[in-house]
Structure formats: C-alpha cells, structure tokens
A and B are shown apart, each in its own frame.
Chain A
C-alpha cells in the first residue's frame, strides 16, 4: 500500500469517493452536499464526479430525507446521509431510532437496512448549546444502531468504508476539531472491522479509554504522565456498538486502574456504561476506583472560558490519572 499524509477530512472524502466508484448503489444525500461540498467540505468534488443522481442535495428536512434514505435501502440502494450536526437529530430521531434501528428486528430478520448516517460532533468552536454536542451515547442506547467514532485519519477512512459496506444502520460520528489533523493513510481502499479496539499507546500503570478528540488529549496526557514515571495505556474502542469489551478488560487486568474520557454528558453516558462493564467483569483486578472525565450535565456554553471549563481536556485527564495512581 502506498501511504501518505492527508487530513481526517480528506480521508473521509477519499473513502466516499472510492466506495462510490466501487459500488453504483452507493448514493449521498444531505443538506448542501452537492455544489457546496458539504457544510465542512467532506463531500467536495463528489457531485462533479458522480452527478446529481448520486449526490443528492436535500431541503432542510432531516426527518424526510433520512426516512427517504431508509426507504431507498429497502429497495436496493446504499445511501450515505449527512446530518450536518448531531444536534439536529432531534427533528429526525423517529426515523433513526424507531424506523432504521428496529426494522430488521420487527420484520423478523428478513430485511437489511444498509444506511450510513454521517454526522459531526463536538465542542471547542464556541458554537454553543445546539451545535456542540456529542450525543453518541443516545444512539448507542437504542438497540439496532452501530455507533462508530473514529479518532485518526487512518481509522476514519477504514471505518467509513466498513460502515458503508455494512448491511446494518450505522451512525458515523466525525469530531469537528479532527477534520484538519493529518496522519498516514493508504491511497488504496481498506477496511477496519467494526468492533475492534485499537491500542493507541501501550502502558502498564493505567488504562485510559477515550473516543475521537479525547484520544488525542489522552495521548498528550500520557506524554506528561510518562515524565512523572506513570506508564499509561491509551485504548480507542473506535466503535461503541459493537464494543470490543475484551480489549478493554484485557488492558484493565494488566493495569488495574482505569480512566474513561468522554466528551458526552456525564449522566447515563458512554463513560458511565464502560465503568459499569469494568466493575461487573473486572472488579477483582481493580486497584483503584474507576474515574471518569466527562462533560458535566450542563448545555455547552457559548463564551470561550465557559466552554473550556466544561469540556474534557489534557489537564483534566492528567489530574484524574494522578488521583487513581496515588490511591493504588
């Protein structure tokens, strides 16, 4: 494979283009995905290459076009839908959680719903309470949706290709602050299996689990902690559903200490669930309480110092690790 450095955004664009070239049933739908190239530029150039029939600009009608994409899956197409911000899911949630997620089950397993819904997540842009949320926990909570949350350009491309080829409905979450980051990505198409965690850094004293942007914060924290003589392992589950429980438990059995970093709201979220899984299945290996670094249960504020105060960051992760390492 020939590998070169491209951005997270370019990796996604390449995955879309290569899948559309490979499979004529793949279509793109969403607001401003055509001439505009997507609100953040992920679908840039696809209209020119594949035409209006396969790159479909929609009205601001999320329930309508997500529902239409579901109907299209039932009749032979493989749509990739762009939901501009995850925050907008509220107007379309019935189509996602009652329709796409449950159709296969309700209809006795006789059908497949190969839809991929791409959406953007995350704070840090002072976009305030309706354009900054993460919310992947809500989708993981509902049975029937795969939930994919990449952190690197390499993972973004491989996971998006796998998501498009998957015959189940997939929610694909792109952190807005990751779009410009660069990393090595093969030119050729490749897949990363959904449900396989990746150890982003090996360590022996503490396991840090994160997703998307928080993986990068965890890696920075691991550098700082290394200087203090603490060896941190950073694990990226990459997908919440399916969840690579074994990879997490294996690491916890080795380190005996766990910090879970999650930009989603604290209450009933991803971090809380992982903490519960660890408590249920690896309690005897724990040398300290499980710590969570999450976003407190407040709407994401607009003003930069307020927003900075509530979101997870490297410093908060370092503090949490110091606390569990000391307690041990």
Chain B
C-alpha cells in the first residue's frame, strides 16, 4: 500500500510535468503553424479532434492536456486518497486530501480560464504548488519508513 501510495503521488508530480510540457509543445506548434500562414480559430479548435486530420501535429498537446487534466490526474489523486486510508503512515491522509484539493482547484481554474483568462495564470501557479505537494506526499512516506526502521515503535503493554 505504502509503495503504491508513494508511486501514485510521484505519478501526479510526473503528470503535472507532462501537462506543462504538452501545453508549451502545443503553443510552440501553433506559433510555427501560424508563421506558415495558418489561421487558428474556434472552427479549427473544434474540428481538430473530429476530422482525424490535425491542422498541425502539436495540437495533440491540448488534447493530451485535456484528457490528463480531466480524467487521469483526478483519478490518480483520488486513488492516492483511498490508499492513504490503508498506509498507516501519519499524515498520509492529510497530504492526500491536500493533493486532491489542489487537483480539484487546478481543474476549476483550468475550466474557468476559458472564460476568465486570468484564472489561467493562477492555473499555471497552482501547477507549481501541486507539483511540490505531490513530490512531498511521495517523499515523506520514504522518510517516515526510514525513521520507523531506525527507531522501532516502542511496545507498550496494554492493561486489561
């Protein structure tokens, strides 16, 4: 359980990195396409996934970002929370909750950004917080088990 918890927490951090990468990849591809005469508008955006013929390949980045952000990362964060109930590591639940809350906030900010672009800027900032918390959530399990190995839990006789 602990290992899975740790691995999934790290996976959230890795996914946040992927999210940042694919967006910049998409924006760079868009810039190159526009430079070559392409015109980007709603019709291009909405038709991109349906037609099977992408206007420029990097637009895949926005699709990956959407799938990751809507399904994969919330799913993994939820799994981390459920696993935290079973890890028997102090603070595991607390950090899993913080992680999930940040993921939910991140999703909210992302969708809000469609209408309120400034929310997109906060989305970028919150990504850093999410990345840090995900790393910390994973790392502290290792630290804790290391500490536990060095200092065995004192056994206390239980009075009947």
Does chain A bind chain B?
A: no
